[in-house]
Amino acid sequence: MTDDFSAERYYDYSVPSSPAVSPDGDRVAFLATEFDEAEDDSRTSLFVAPTDGSRDPYRLTRASDASNPQWGPDGDRLAFVGARDEDAELAVENERDDEDDSGPVGGDGPRPQVWVFDLARGGDARQVTDRDYGVSDFDWGPDGDRLVVAGRDPTEADEAYLEQREDDGPVEIERLQHKANGTGWLDEVATYLFVVDVADRTTVRLDDAFDAEKGSRWPLQPAWSPDGDRIAFVANQEDDPDDTHVTHLYTIRPDGTGLRRETDAHLRLNAPEWSPDGSRLAVAGGDPYNWYKPTEAYVLHPGDGELSSVSGSLDRTLGMDGAPRWLDDDTLVSLVGDEGNTRLVRLAADRDSPERVFDAQGTGRSLSFLDVSGGTLAFRLDDPATGADVHALPVDALDDDTDDALTRISRVNADIVDDAHTPECVRVEWENSDGVTIEGLAYLPPDFDPDDPDPHPVVSAVHGGPMAYDDPAFRFDTLFWTNEGYVVLRTNYRGSTSYGREFAERLRGTRGDLEVDDVVTGVEALTERGWVDADERYLTGFSYGGITTAAAVTKSHAFAAAAAEHGIYDFRSTFGTDDNHLWHEDEFGLPWENEDTYREISTIDDVGNVETPLLVTAGEEDWRCPPTQAEQLYVSVKKQGVDSKLVVYQNEHHNIGDPDRAIHRLETLADWFDTH
């Protein structure tokens, strides 16, 4: 192991995301999330850089979080969403006009608003929106004079209820979906679209764009057409929006008239984008319930109601933030999950004939967060050995045999890459107990020779989802484990979504058998290769990885110790206490109608088989996998005398966001494995 790399290096780690290319393709804005040791907090800042790599990125924000960067149509302005202290100009106006205003209900601090940098003139960003409850999303109008924004707009009755809640009054809910992870108890406040004048901040609500009686928990994702005539958005306006994941694409005129539902497909739609000439819309669409099925790229002509898949024949799901983007009026580009990798495909707008492009990427690097404009692509490229950074690529170079035209824009983890061991990532295959070939990614510790190995301890890290997949990535926890001397194995078990529908759907309707077999046979295969010490095999996983970890230790004694993190272990008792009742109903039916199924898929009924020392973790405010699930598992195992420990992270949802807690998590896992 290395002596100079500890979990404390997390404070040196940065995560780039959300590149946005300027209209001329010459600049890219992007976000980077950094971790502040003094404040014990994360901060997401906005940067801008030339796409030719001629200058280092320039930091535009520092003191507050930024999100959703978008260039104005002329490329001279850059807008973003940020919860910053009120603009000085607005503060003076509000003090004069609203001296008696007590302010919005619901927490202290500034609300997220749209801010705009004038990059031609310089200076700080100007606040454009001033909504009491903030802004969740926005898009520029093509003239650059207006924005369309989405934001909550409570009625007087809503305000009275929110004030009751703030004063520790009772939570009163009549809607079916009563909670959501990261949000908490839900209310019935409607989110509307508003058109905002950039110069004078005059705001008009588009009343017809939303049925306030129905409510919605989906982002509206507005997209303004190039001719300025219509605004597209996504909404769930079914009879009971809480009992379905179906969303539709709508368009409306910017004066609030002419609302039209553009789709009639039974899909879950996201990320609408107009073609450059405004004649078509592209959108990502997936099955509203069966998320094992690949999410596809669709195109439609507004007004005809027909969605046409342009990627379905590929049998691959769209990748993370890889929704279709227009290259020109007839061609799109997208990211897809492709056998344990995320890569670029080119799509024809009028037919289903996808082409894999940018072959120079290879299989050892993966892409995410795609944007394109002005003949330039930008994306995050992960290379386990050299970091994760924003890169730019000319559209004309998509078919090149080399990556000579690829330009690295950022070096956000240069200090870590320069002075710590970064692991080699090796693809490995094995046959599971059913004779099915399974693939995984093995990250190797320092001085490890796979051809002449010295057996090492292994951490089998199981991905969540399960409708997800592992691809080559630059991750801090992998850096930590390999620098501690562990081999890290990430298994793409049956259910993983980058190997086609049939492979993913094998897991549908089951729990605890197929994926456990794939994970266990994976560490056994590495043991047979001589890579892994049979007495030092450890297992952990977060979310669905936690579910798999708990199931594995009820069925196998292959591991010296395990850590089930933020999982579900009793599917009957979690029904209605988490925010996933629609998913569980689709796969397993209703628990009072299918009691045997819920019992069979729940680990809690098999805890009598557990002999493996087990660490169990939870987020105190996790409403995706409630902490009561961790308590049940912990007490049930502890009651039988199995060495076990419970760690609950206060004020955390279904993640570990606070950097001190992220460090504590890694140190706790390392101590647990080291002890056993």
Looking at every residue in the chain, the average pLDDT score rounds to 94
Among the residue ranges 117-121, 239-243, 245-249, 485-489, the one predicted with the least confidence is 239-243
- Establish if 589 belongs to a structural domain: yes
What 3-state class would DSSP assign to 157?
helix
- Establish if 628 belongs to a structural domain: yes
Kindly report the number of other CB atoms within 10 A of residue 225's CB atom: 21
- Establish if 613 belongs to a structural domain: yes
Nearest Cα to 426, choosing from 522, 518, 520?
A: 522
Q: How many domains are there within the chain?
A: 1
Q: Token pair of 308, please?
A: 């046409």
Q: String of b and e for 239-275 (b: at least 16 CB within 10 Å)?
A: eebbeebbbbbbbbbbebeeeeebbebebbbbbbbbb
Tens digits of per-residue pLDDT, 23-79?
999 999 999 999 999 888 999 999 999 999 999 999 999 878 999 999 999 999 999
Q: Token pair of 518, please?
A: 């794939």
CA distance linking residue 278 with residue 144, whole number of Å? 17
Q: Token pair of 661, please?
A: 């807690």
Q: How many CA atoms lie within 13 A of 341 on its CB side?
A: 20
Residue 217 has pLDDT above 70, yes or no: no
CA distance linking residue 140 with residue 20, whole number of Å? 13
The predicted model gives 548-562 an average pLDDT of 98
Tens digits of per-residue pLDDT, 128-181?
999 999 999 999 999 999 999 999 999 999 999 999 999 999 999 999 999 999
Residue 1 pLDDT: 43
Kindly report the number of other CB atoms within 10 A of residue 38's CB atom: 6
- Establish if 514 belongs to a structural domain: yes
The confidence band for 211, taking pLDDT boundaries of 50, 70 and 90, is: low
Residue 650 has pLDDT above 60, yes or no: yes
User: Is the Cα dihedral 110, 111, 112, 115 positive or negative?
Assistant: negative
The predicted model gives 255-272 an average pLDDT of 94
- Establish if 648 belongs to a structural domain: yes
CATH number at residue 524: 3.40.50.1820
Phi and psi at residue 31, to the nearest 5°: -110, 150
Contacts of 147 (CB under 8 A, 6+ apart): 79, 114, 128, 129, 138, 139, 140, 141, 195, 196, 198
Reported residue count of the chain is 676
Nearest Cα to 272, choosing from 281, 264, 280?
A: 281
CA distance linking residue 653 with residue 637, whole number of Å? 24
Residue whose token pair is 């730019």: 392
CA distance linking residue 83 with residue 80, whole number of Å? 10
Query: Do the beta carbons of residue 284 and residue 296 sit within 8 Å?
Result: yes
- Establish if 409 belongs to a structural domain: no
Q: How many CA atoms lie within 13 A of 274 on its CB side?
A: 23
**Amino acid at site 139:** D
Among the residue ranges 7-16, 85-94, 493-502, 506-515, the one predicted with the least confidence is 85-94
What 3-state class would DSSP assign to 483?
helix
Q: How far is CA 516 from the centre of its chain?
A: 25
**Amino acid at site 430:** W
Tens digits of per-residue pLDDT, 108-135?
789 999 999 999 999 999 999 999 999 9
The predicted model gives 416-435 an average pLDDT of 97
Kindly report the number of other CB atoms within 10 A of residue 397's CB atom: 17
Query: Do the beta carbons of residue 541 and residue 463 sit within 8 Å?
Result: yes
Report the predicted TM-score, pTM, of the whole model to 2 decimal places. Answer: 0.96
How deeply is 95 buried, as exposed, middle or buried, from its count of CB atoms within 10 A (0-12, 13-18, 19+)? exposed
Nearest Cα to 181, choosing from 568, 632, 593?
A: 568
Residue whose token pair is 């406040």: 189
Residue 92 has pLDDT above 70, yes or no: no
The confidence band for 96, taking pLDDT boundaries of 50, 70 and 90, is: low
Residue 305 pLDDT: 77
Q: Which residues pair with 180 in a beta bridge?
A: 184
Q: Which residues pair with 561 in a beta bridge?
A: 538
Residue 3 has pLDDT above 70, yes or no: no
CA distance linking residue 151 with residue 137, whole number of Å? 7
Q: Where are the alpha helices (DSSP H) in 98-226?
A: 156-166
Give me the domain span that covers residue 514.
421-675
Residue whose token pair is 């944007």: 371
Kindly report the number of other CB atoms within 10 A of residue 381's CB atom: 25
Cis, peptide link before residue 455, omega less than 30° from 0: no
- Establish if 256 belongs to a structural domain: no
- Establish if 54 belongs to a structural domain: no
Kindly report the number of other CB atoms within 10 A of residue 447's CB atom: 8
